[in-house]
Amino acid sequence: MEGGAYGAGKAGGAFDPYTLVRQPHTILRVVSWVFSIVVFGSIVNEGYLNSPSESKEFCIYNRNPNACGYGVTVGVLAFLTCLLYLALDVYFPQISSVKDRKKAVLSDIGVSAFWAFLWFVGFCYLANQWQVSKDSLLNEGTDAARAAIAFSFFSIFTWSLTAALAVRRFKDLTFQEEYSTLFPSSAQP
């Protein structure tokens, strides 16, 4: 792929799915997408239990419905955010305006860092509620609860790496933009 502003090839070029799939930020987005499915899927599927002595369901994380609600909400919203940014990655080479590309990369930095923070909060919250839970000795749902905690932890790193890659992409390609502004007649490095 030829160099262009903010990681895109020449605007209007043909869509190349092979190049898209090989990009590190796309791979990390897909991994983050899978992790979010695991988190909200495990909580929705086995995070709520009902005891024979009670008629209502309770959250396996210390019977705190806010813990299950936070995990499900963050998981679903991260799932949707991954889909949105995967669509942006597909559309990105077609963006011809350098300012719009810059906005897309800056939003990627901000959103990825924000999600890394939300996953850190989620990991701490779920791990704390699981630690103080008296229901953690139950056999039912414990693997799902632990999986949600583990994949929340892994999501911190995938979203942080996505933000770091976006920062690197921003810095590298800002240099290319400045170089082409200073030396308009010469080829890009």
**Distance between CA atoms of 134 and 22, rounded to whole angstroms?**
45
CA-closest candidate to residue 100, choices 8, 3, 184: 8
**Distance between CA atoms of 153 and 47, rounded to whole angstroms?**
17
**CA-CA-CA-CA torsion for 121, 126, 131, 133, nearest 10 degrees?**
140
Q: Exposed, middle or buried by CB within 10 Å (0-12, 13-18, 19+), for 95?
A: buried
Q: Which band of pLDDT confidence, cut at 50, 70 and 90, is reported for residue 176?
A: low
Higher pLDDT, 5 or 29: 29
Contacts of 84 by beta carbon, 8 Å cutoff, 6+ apart: none
In this prediction the pTM is 0.84
Contacts of 113 by beta carbon, 8 Å cutoff, 6+ apart: 159, 160, 163
Helix/strand/coil percent split, the chain, to 5: 75, 5, 20
**Mind listing the pLDDT tens digit for each residue in 57-78?**
888 998 899 999 999 999 999 9
Beta strands in the chain (DSSP E): 48-50, 57-59
Phi-psi map region of 188: left, alpha, beta (phi>0 left; psi -120 to 50 alpha): beta
Domains of the chain as residue ranges with CATH: 18-175 (1.20.140)
**Mind listing the pLDDT tens digit for each residue in 88-117?**
998 888 877 777 888 899 999 999 999 999
Q: Supply the pLDDT for residue 68.
A: 95
